[in-house]
Structure formats: C-alpha cells, structure tokens
Amino acid sequence: MSTAKSAQSGNGNGQQTPASKNGSADSAAEGQAAQVAGEAGGRRATAQSMAAKQRDISVSEFFAKNRHLLGFDNPRKALLTTVKEAVDNSLDACEEAGLVPEIWVHIEQTRPNRFKVGVQDNGPGIMKKQIPLIFGKLLYGSKFHRLRMSRGQQGIGISAAGMYGMLTTGKPVKIISKVSPRRPAHYYEIQIDTKKNVPEILNGRGDGVDIPPGEEGRKYIAEHEIEWVAEIIAPDGASSEVKSGTRVTIELEARFQRGRGSVDEYLEQTAIANPHVTLHYLDPEGNERTFHRSTTTLPPEPKEIKPHPYGIELGQLVTMLKDAKGETLTQFLTTSFSRVSPSVARNICETAKLSSRAAARRIGREEADKLFHAIQETRILAPATDCITPIGEELLLKGLHHVVPGEFYCAATRPPAVYRGNPFLIEVALAYGGASSAQRVSLDVLKQLLHESDARTLRQFLLNTFDGVGSDGAERIMKEAQIGTRQSPAKLKPSEVQRLLTAMRNVNLSEGQSMQVLRYANRVPLQFKQRDCAITESVINTNWRPYGLSQSRGSLPSGPVSVMVHIASVWVPFTSESKEAIASYPEIQKELRLGLQTVGRKLGMYLRRRNKVKQEGERRNIFLRYLGEVAGAVSQLNGASREELYQQLLEVAKRKTAQADVKLDDRGRPIGEEDEEDFGGNVLIVPPADPGPLPNAAGPQRPAGERTATTQSTQRQLF
Amino acid sequence: MAKKKARRQPAAAPEAAPDAAQLTAQDHKTLDALREMADGVVDAAGRSRPPHLDIPSRSLSNVRYNKAKRFIEMGRGTNRRELFNLSQAKSYMQTMLVGSGCKQLIQQGKTTSIRGLYYLLKHTIEGTREETFDDQADCDPIIEDVEVTLNALREELHVYASNRGSMVGNVVVNDSGDEIDCSRMGSGGYTIPSIVEPEVIRFVKVEADFVLHVEKDTVWRRFNEDKFWRKHNCILTHGQGQPPRGVRRMLHRLHHEHHLPVYCLLDNDPWGYYIYSVIKQGSINLAYESRRMAIPGARYLGLRSKDFERCSLSPSVTIKLNDNDIKRIKQIRNYPWFENKPAWKKELELMLRNGFKLEVEALISKDISYVTEQYVPARLQDEDFLD
C-alpha cells in the first residue's frame, strides 16, 4: 500500500487532502537555479538544498497535525467524534448486512482526562485480513468510491479516532470481531504507523489472536480481560447470544461533559433518526441507559448509483476518460454515467462535434473540454432517486415522539430532488408543546422524588429531576412557591411541598424557549456549527409567524417546538471533513424551505384549532357566568320566572356558541368545510389528558412501552 | 351569588308589598320603561333569540348642533348591546343589574348616589371570582346608558351625582320643604344639589338681575367676600370647573324661568372655553339632556385673550400654551357651534398668537379685588361679552 495511492484517491474526491507536493523539478531547471543562486551569493537555500527536504507527506501525518479537520479539536469533541465514528460504522455495517442493529456504547474513565471508549455491534463482523486495514489505515474503506447513501463517506473516521487515541495516550486500538458463532473471533491490537499510513499489529506476534468459539473462547476472553458483550438482553428480559459483531475499544484523552454537543445528546438524537436501533449506553458515571428500538423493520437497502453527468467536473471527466478501456465514446458515456442512453450519448457527441465512435481513451484535453460543455448543454433526465431511503414519516413521528415530549407531532418527507447531479431528499418532523415533566408530576410522586433525591438544594433537585426545567425555570418555580433556593429537598414541610407542586404546575416553563433544531445527515445527528448549516439557515429564513409561533427577525422562532430535519443523499455536501454542517446549495435550500413549510402549516392548523377549542370553552363560560345574573335582574324587573328564563337563555347560549364555532375561526374569518378536514395524515396528537411518563429521578428515561403512535384515531378523539 | 342573592331577596321582597313609598306619576312611567326593557329579554328568550338592547350612542358622531335651538342634540344612532357577544356580555349583564337596582330605589322611594348604586349592585358572580363591577368607573357609564335607553333622567331613576358647586345671591328657594335664603348663607354659600327639578326645588323669590357664573370656588369666594352680588344684585354660582348637572340645571332654570341673563367668568384657556361651550350648548356626553341644560343665551364675560394688554398684566402671570392646549384650541375652533362666530374665531386666533393662557386669579396681581371692583363691573357696563 503506497502512500501515493491513497493520496491520489483523496484527490479524486476533490477534497483538500495532501497530495504529495513533490516539486521535483527536472534537473535542467535545478542547474539553472543553482547558477542564479551562485551569482546572487548569500542565498539562504539553494534549490538543491531545498530539494533534499522535499518529500512525500503521508495522509496520516497530515491528519495527525490537522486533527481539527476531522473533529478532534478539543478533548470534549474528540470523545464525541470517536463514539460517533464507531457507532456510524456499526450502523452502516448492520444495515448493509441486513441485521437489526444492537449497539453498545461503553465509556469508562481510566485516569483524569483519559477515557476508554468501547463500541460494539451485532453486525456481520469483519474478515480477518481486513481488520487491520480498516482500523489502522486512513482513507481505507468501501464507501468512498461508490455513490450510495450511507453514514460514512470517506473511510477516515474510525482510523483517525484510533490514531488520535494512540497519539494522546500511546494505547493501541483493540478490535475484536466475529463473523459467525461457529468461527473463531479475531482479536487485534493495532497502532498506525503515521509515517507510512499502514497498520502495525501488536499482539500475536504481528498476526493477531484467534479466539476459538464456544466455552473455550469465553474462558480466554475472561482471562485476558478482553471486553465483549456476549448476550443481548431484550426489553422483556429474554437473552440471546451475540452471534457476530465487532467491538472497537479506543483509549483517548478526552473530557466527558453533558449538555449540548455531548455523547448523551448524540445517542439520543441517533435514536430518534434510527428507530430500528437499540442502543445500550453506559456513561463514565456508571449510569446505564437503553434506547429501545420502536421497529424491527430495517430501512430498505439503498441502491448504488453511477454518477450523473451533471454532477461531474472537468478534471474528473478527464480522469475517467483515461481510465476507460477500449470503449467508444458512446459506450463510455452510457456505462459510466446514469441516465445516459445511447441516444443521449449520441446527442452529446453531436453537440461536442466528436465522433461517437472515437476511442474514449484517446480523447484529448481540448476535446474533453468540449465534451464537458456538451454534457451541460444536453438535456439529461434527473438521476434516479430510488437510491435514497428516507426514514419515512411514520418512523419519524415514532422516533420524535419517543425522545421529545410533546402534544403535537407531524412529519413530512419531500420527494427526492437533485443538486449538482446528486439526488437528495429532505425530511422534516416537528414536535410541539408538551408540558415539561415538572408540570405533570403528582403529589405522591413528587413526595417520593423529594425523598429519594440526593440533591443538596431544591434548585439542584428541580434541575436534575425534571426535563425541560432550566435554571431560569427553577428560579421562577421557587419564587412562585416562596421557598428558599438553598432549602434541602428532603426537609420540606408538607405545606411547602404542596406549594411547590402548585408552583410547578403554574409556572410557564416554555416562555422564552426557542425552537430546538435537530439536524441529521443520512441519519447521523449533526451537533456542531449550527449557525453555519444550511438547515438552520432555512429554519431561520422561514416565516413561522403565520403558523402561530412568534419569531423575531433573523432568529429561530420561539415556543416549545422541536424541529428535526434530515437530509438523505448519496453524497451529503458537508462544509468540512468533520461533517458538522450542510453546505447551502440553492436546490437544497428550496427543498428545506418546502419541507419546513409543510410541517409549519400543519402546526398552524393545530394551534389555531387548539386556540379555537380553548376560546369556545371560554366563550361558553363567559356567557354561562352572566346568564344567572341577567335572569335574576330581569325577574326582579318584571317578575318573570328566574329559573325558566335562565334555562331559555342557556339554550340560546348553547346554540349561539355552537353556531359561532362553525362560522368563524379565531381571526374572525369564516371557516369553510374543507378546513375541517384532517391534517392529511402523518400527524400525531397526544391528548393533553395523557399523564405521560413519570419523571425518573435517574434521568429522562422513557418507558419503552408507551410508544403507541397511532396517527388518526387519537386525532379524531380530540376533535 | 347564592349568598348575596339570599340576602338581597328579602330586600327586594317588599316590591310586592304596596307599603313602599308613594309613587309619583313620573315614577310609574320610569317603572314601566324598566319593565319594558326586561320584557324584551323574556320575549327574546321565549323565542330562542339572543336578547339585545339598543342604546343611543353617546359619542361625537351621534350628536348634532341644532342651529335653530342653538344647542347640541343627540342623533338617532344607537349601539346594539348583545348578551351573546363576548365583548358585550358583561356590560349587558351590568345594564340589567343597574335597571333592577333603579327599580328597587324607585319602589322604596329612596335616592342614592351613583356610588351608592355601585355598592348596591356590586357582588361576586355566583361560582366565579369575578365581581359584577370592578370599580365605580365600570358602573357610571352603564347608568348613563340606562338613562338614555329609557329616555329617563338620572333623577327619575332616583340616582344623583355628588353635590358640587355653590350659589349665593338675592334668591330664596324651597329645597325639599326647607326655605333657604341664599343671601344669608355666610361664606360657604348654598350648595347646589344634584337634583334641581321643580319637585325638589321651588323658587320662592327671585330678585336678582342676572347670574354670574365663575369657574372656580376660589374666585367665587373673592366675589362673595367682596359682597359683589349685593352690590350688583346678582346671583353668584360656581361649578368647580366643569359644572355638574345640578349647577347647569339651576342656571338653566334661573335663565328660562326667571329670564335672568347668565354671564360666565372663566379662565382664558381652552378648558375655560369648553366649559362655556358646555353651559351654552350642552355637552356631547349628556346631549340627551341638552334641552334641560343648555343655555344658548349665556354670555362669555371673561377672561379674554386681549386682557393681557387691556389690563396691562405682567408677563409673569401668563402660562405658556402646551401642545395639548394648542390641539384643543384647534378642535374647539372646528366645533360647528363656534363656526359661524367671527368674534370667537378672533378670540381663538389671538390666544394662539399670544401663545399663553390666563387664569382669572392672574388679575389678583393688579389688586386683590381688581376682579370684583374693576374688571367685571367694567365688562358689565360696556356690555363687552362674547356670544
């Protein structure tokens, strides 16, 4: 494996990978340079002396120096990137093999600022020969050269994580992989030789270790303290053997932190976008948390496609022409590209004024340029879009409902579109409202939580126990309850508990909250560079006011709303290698806008309707309140029977309010019958009466059983 | 309301018993009107229709200056008040309550202040935490609504406003059976009651030659102390700024029944002009009472914009016009009843040009009794009035 080759493949991508800058000029030029240097005298260096220092740069050396390009800029992000790369690879492998993914993520602190990350899957496993290359060589993988929707694209991620671990801790990457329960598992400890970008195997005298299957192997694993999860435990308690799979363990310098951009957040968001995945997560503090799958159906297998002629660049075209074997130009065009039929190929050749029978390999620079322009001028069908597999509206709803509490959910999947010849697809899901768990807790549960809590102050208790209570919210709750902030939660008097409960119910926690935007690319959550991302930009540029949210110019709308946006594509245009933000292509922006508007309209309908229901109630209330007074006054004035009059007025009131409901909406506009129709499917409304999951003192864990996402039936109940 | 109601029921019970006070013919008329209003509700409810009231509108758009009668009249415009309208439900309920309150008063032959009526009707609505009336400001306009709707005067509803304004002079009145000689009222004067109808007040002897109405109590005291009314044989009144109904009604009766000219001594500012306008043509809010209140023959005696020069006042007693004043002057200038009066136009122009206003008290800078001994006598002598 030469470095040159891998560097070249980097070039093909058009990315800024370090091509070897071998400025080895020919000797004549060098001689001249020497002369000039001699004349000038006192030159600092000569071309010869400089040439001595000019040499290849290995891709691994380059990334070792520029680790920020891959998302290792700080210890906190390094931890996340490591987990992320490993999990992404695992999911890709499982899905490609058609296995329902079961992923274990274990993070363990070994020293201050040093963590051991272990990620295991139940995937197909890796063949023995490939293991060192996949984990110990940068830019090695199956995903780069094909156009197929997958999480990974480059083949840098996991080996870069291993390299980072090695650089910061000196510990090798440990891999154990098993292909079948009857075949031995392979165990490797690998380091990257950064100078050569080749793996170095440390154990088994440079050959790795084979662990035999069965009891013997189990003993070996236990003896050598190799980490391996051997059993899958289903939510119902049944356990089964892990038949195949891979586990990678990397020790690295890192920092564990909760909150934004944390591993917790990443896994939570991954669970939303991948409802077919079960994630077992053990954090450094020893908390175990499991995200159970809500479906066992795998997403359909994405198809691999050939590049579309519109997406190609001149340089790329030239390279492809050179690589062509003895084909005619027509043959070359039809076989290398998608959507090019012989007649289209003929059209292209005619426009380029080239013979369609010319040998593709012999096409020169200038002719290639003509060919390139001819391609742009010829009408070619947009690429086939069946190569993209969306999450699907139903699963989006399930996933979002699973993780984000709310009362209204809706989702929209846009039809596929094309940017620069690459098909892509936008999906948007939205969750609205949802009282924070603090508002749904009952007195008994609150008492129990207070009793169990180990928080020192009430403030801490509120922050740690309940979802959606920020420090501001906690402050307001305690002010309303008139309880001191430093009060110990276990020592509250019953009257104070009662006050606390009332305050928790009454304080509006959603006030001043701004929309949460969850971004995904090929089912991978994006957690950084929110501001630079085309998705955030589109959310901000969408006018949410007509949909019932308040929004100030140039910022995210406010309200208890979460929006999830997924872009699926065979080639996701990231703004950088660390895959943190989507580039703003106009085609992508347009699709984003349309998707956001679709869910926005549904949200607007829901909010208007909810307001109307509320208003109707209020209106009836107001009338009822005054009817008694009116009847009393009138009967006093003319001696009419108060009761009879009251009943009569009540009848009129009922009729009158019902009438008004039909005729007018909250803006006083008449509502047509068609507006009374449903939301057009893919809407989930959780009736507010639903007590919802009770908060768990350990964390925002949601029981797996309550995911009953029916779209239409609940909605009918409400309206 | 249950509790309140229970307590109020016995109070309302005597309505059936005829032992209530003697009802006058006017009272019967008012009661009929009230009953009619209630019948409308029963009728509507019986036919399953939403009940409503048509209340004559008391706004600038619904008043008209009657050039022949020379006062402001109310137009025919009405506002519909519906029970089943979110924004009107409460005021509808309040209107009915005021009606029932007035019935109680009439039947028991008692009168109360508007504040008293407010307390009579204020209670918590049954089953809520809401009050029928939040404060008196809620109640007062409703009382006026009932007045215009029933075409009944406030007195006819047995409701009165607080007393304000005093009178002194060569006149003897009989107030509810007590004979009062207004020339022997000391320094305080006779307080003009809010109800000045002939049933309450009869004029026994009116010997004065004219009425001088001043704006404020402080000026009135000056005149009273100097016994101006004795010297000039007049009646001296004040209304503490905008004169209340009682004072206006008193002036009206003196003017119309006893043909006494009415002269007004008011501040030289937009507010003073407006007071004059109200006395002369009636107010927009009480346009329906103009025929009993407006005194088209009233005359404006002072202060005039030209008085600064005429009386050679010091600039230090002037008050600069503020933006509000200027706006108000322009408004007044456009009132239809000022339109065809070139003298007034000139007056207003001059004030704008002066850029300041003058209070009557400013004349004290000349001499404490300048106003009573020189200013007013000189105007009366010259008959230098504005119409």
Residue A680 reports pLDDT greater than 70: no
Nearest to residue B80, comparing CAs of B127, B23, B21, B40?
Answer: B40
pLDDT band for position A469 (50/70/90)?
low
Question: SS3 string of A385-415?
Answer: CCCCCCCCHHHHHHHHHHHCCCCEEEEEECC
Burial B215-247 (b: 16+ CB within 10 A, else e): bbbebbbbbbeeebbeebebbbbbbebebbbbb
CB-based contact A632 B128, cutoff 8 Å: no
**CB proximity A650 to B under 8 Å:** no
| Residue A261 amino acid letter | G
Report the C-alpha gap between A613 and A408 in whole angstroms: 15
Residue A505 reports pLDDT greater than 80: no
pLDDT band for position A687 (50/70/90)?
low
CB-based contact B37 A637, cutoff 8 Å: yes
What is the per-residue pLDDT for A28?
46
Task: Tell me which chain A residues have a C-beta less than 8 angstroms from the C-beta of B44.
Answer: 652
Token pair belonging to A497: 């508990």
A88 or A207: whose pLDDT is higher? A88
Report the C-alpha gap between A177 and A157 in whole angstroms: 18
A429, A538, B161, B235 from B164: Cα distances, Å: 70, 68, 9, 17
Using one digit for the tens of pLDDT, what is the confidence trace for A506-515? 776 665 567 8
B142 or A671: whose pLDDT is higher? B142
CB-based contact B93 A630, cutoff 8 Å: yes
- A708 φ, ψ to 5°? -115, 85
Report the C-alpha gap between A244 and A94 in whole angstroms: 10
Helix (H, G, I), strand (E, B) or coil at B222: helix
What is the per-residue pLDDT for A393?
86
What is the per-residue pLDDT for B263?
94
A622, A656, B5, B123 from A650: Cα distances, Å: 12, 10, 20, 22
pLDDT band for position A427 (50/70/90)?
very high
CB-based contact A625 B34, cutoff 8 Å: no
DSSP single-letter state for residue A650? H
Report the C-alpha gap between B245 and B155 in whole angstroms: 11
> What percent of chain A is modeled with pLDDT above 70?
81
Helix (H, G, I), strand (E, B) or coil at A675: helix
Taking a C-beta distance cutoff of 8 angstroms, is the pair A311, A375 a contact?
no
CB-based contact A651 B100, cutoff 8 Å: no
Task: Tell me which chain B residues have a C-beta less than 8 angstroms from the C-beta of A661.
Answer: none
In sign, the C-alpha dihedral spanning B257, B260, B264, B265 is: negative
- The lowest-confidence range among A484-498, A637-651, B88-102, B170-184 is A484-498
Nearest to residue B137, comparing CAs of B122, B126, B151, B147?
Answer: B122
Report the C-alpha gap between A276 and A101 in whole angstroms: 7
CB-based contact A623 B50, cutoff 8 Å: no
What is the per-residue pLDDT for A378?
85
CB-based contact B89 A623, cutoff 8 Å: yes
Mean pLDDT of A229-257: 84
Put simply, the chain A residues between 317 and 356 with a CB less than 8 A from any chain B CB are none
The alpha-helical segments, DSSP class H, found in A170-288 are 215-223, 263-273
B331 or A404: whose pLDDT is higher? B331
Residue A24 reports pLDDT greater than 50: no
Q: Point out the residue among A628, A630, A637 whose CB comes nearest to the CB of B126.
A: A628
* Chosen from A626, A644, A647 to mutate, greatest number of chain B CBs within 10 A: A626
Domains for chain B: give ranges and CATH numbers.
2-160 (1.10.10.10), 166-382 (3.40.1360.10)
* Count of positions (residues) in chain A: 719
Residue A666 reports pLDDT greater than 70: no
DSSP strand E in chain B: where? 52-56, 63-66, 71-74, 78-82, 112-113, 159-160, 166-169, 171-175, 178-181, 190-191, 201-206, 210-214, 234-238, 262-265, 299-302, 319-320, 356-357
Closest Cα of chain B to A481: distance in Å? 22
Tokens 């922006």 belong to residue? A589
**Which residues are registered as beta bridge partners of B44?**
none
Mean pLDDT of A600-608: 88
The C-alpha angle A69, A71, A72, rounded to 5 degrees, equals 100
| Residue A194 amino acid letter | T
A678 or B180: whose pLDDT is higher? B180
**CB proximity A619 to B under 8 Å:** yes
pLDDT band for position A661 (50/70/90)?
low
Mean pLDDT of A523-528: 86
Mean pLDDT of A598-605: 90
| Secondary structure (DSSP) of B170-185 | SEEEEETTEEEETTS-
* Chosen from B37, B82, B83, B126 to mutate, greatest number of chain A CBs within 10 A: B83
Report the C-alpha gap between A517 and A430 in whole angstroms: 9
Q: Point out the residue among B15, B34, B97 whose CB comes nearest to the CB of A629.
A: B97
DSSP single-letter state for residue A582? B
CB-based contact B92 A630, cutoff 8 Å: yes
Report the C-alpha gap between A66 and A215 in whole angstroms: 45
CA trace torsion A92, A94, A99, A100 (10° rounding): -80
Using one digit for the tens of pLDDT, what is the confidence trace for A259-317? 667 788 888 888 888 888 899 999 888 888 888 888 888 888 887 888 888 878 888 88
Closest Cα of chain B to A621: distance in Å? 10
B276 or A213: whose pLDDT is higher? B276
What is the per-residue pLDDT for A717?
31
pLDDT band for position A704 (50/70/90)?
very low
* Count of positions (residues) in chain B: 387
Taking a C-beta distance cutoff of 8 angstroms, is the pair A249, A107 a contact?
no
Residue A434 reports pLDDT greater than 80: no
Question: How many beta-carbon pairs below 8 A join chains A and B?
Answer: 88
Active site residues of B: 119
Nearest to residue A469, comparing CAs of A303, A180, A212, A695?
Answer: A695
Mean pLDDT of A551-559: 80
Domains for chain A: give ranges and CATH numbers.
65-291 (3.30.565.10), 309-377 (1.10.8.50), 393-434+514-605 (3.30.230.10), 437-506 (1.10.8.50)
What is the per-residue pLDDT for B295?
93
Q: How far from the centroid of its chain's Cα atoms is residue B215's Cα? A: 14
**CB proximity A656 to B under 8 Å:** yes
Closest Cα of chain A to B39: distance in Å? 7
Taking a C-beta distance cutoff of 8 angstroms, is the pair A623, B89 a contact?
yes
What is the per-residue pLDDT for B16?
43
Q: Point out the residue among B12, B42, B89 whose CB comes nearest to the CB of A636.
A: B12
Token pair belonging to B334: 């456009």
- A41 φ, ψ to 5°? 65, 150
Nearest to residue A349, comparing CAs of A339, A360, A335?
Answer: A360
A504 or B170: whose pLDDT is higher? B170
What is the per-residue pLDDT for B172?
94
Mean pLDDT of A563-580: 85
pLDDT band for position A389 (50/70/90)?
confident
Give the residues of chain B that fall short of pLDDT 70: 1-21
Task: Tell me which chain B residues have a C-beta less than 8 angstroms from the C-beta of A640.
Answer: 38, 42
CB-based contact A625 B130, cutoff 8 Å: yes
Report the C-alpha gap between A593 and A367 in whole angstroms: 40
What is the per-residue pLDDT for B220?
93
DSSP single-letter state for residue B204? E
Task: Tell me which chain B residues have a C-beta less than 8 angstroms from the C-beta of A651.
Answer: 48
Q: Point out the residue among B50, B89, B96 whose CB comes nearest to the CB of A622.
A: B89
Taking a C-beta distance cutoff of 8 angstroms, is the pair A201, A207 a contact?
yes
Q: Point out the residue among B89, B90, B100 whose CB comes nearest to the CB of A637.
A: B100
What is the per-residue pLDDT for A19?
41
Tokens 């094909």 belong to residue? A146
Please, what is the average pLDDT of chain A? 78
pLDDT band for position A707 (50/70/90)?
very low
Mean pLDDT of A708-714: 33
**CB proximity A668 to B under 8 Å:** no
Residue A428 reports pLDDT greater than 90: yes
Closest Cα of chain A to B168: distance in Å? 42
What is the per-residue pLDDT for B256?
92
B133, B149, B278, B287, B288 from B57: Cα distances, Å: 22, 9, 18, 10, 10
Using one digit for the tens of pLDDT, what is the confidence trace for A214-228? 788 888 888 887 888
| Residue A280 amino acid letter | H
**Phi-psi region for residue A681, left (φ > 0), alpha (ψ -120 to 50) or beta?**
left
Report the C-alpha gap between B71 and B290 in whole angstroms: 7
Using one digit for the tens of pLDDT, what is the confidence trace for A48-62? 888 888 887 777 788
Task: Tell me which chain B residues have a C-beta less than 8 angstroms from the C-beta of A648.
Answer: 45-46, 48
Residue of A nearest to B105 (CA): A637
Task: Tell me which chain A residues have a C-beta less than 8 angstroms from the C-beta of B89.
Answer: 622-623, 626
Tokens 């954090």 belong to residue? A283
Closest Cα of chain A to B11: distance in Å? 11
Using one digit for the tens of pLDDT, what is the confidence trace for B15-63? 444 445 678 888 888 899 999 989 988 888 888 888 888 888 888 788 8
What is the per-residue pLDDT for B288?
83
pLDDT band for position A695 (50/70/90)?
very low
CB-based contact A626 B89, cutoff 8 Å: yes
Nearest to residue A100, comparing CAs of A249, A279, A282, A302?
Answer: A279
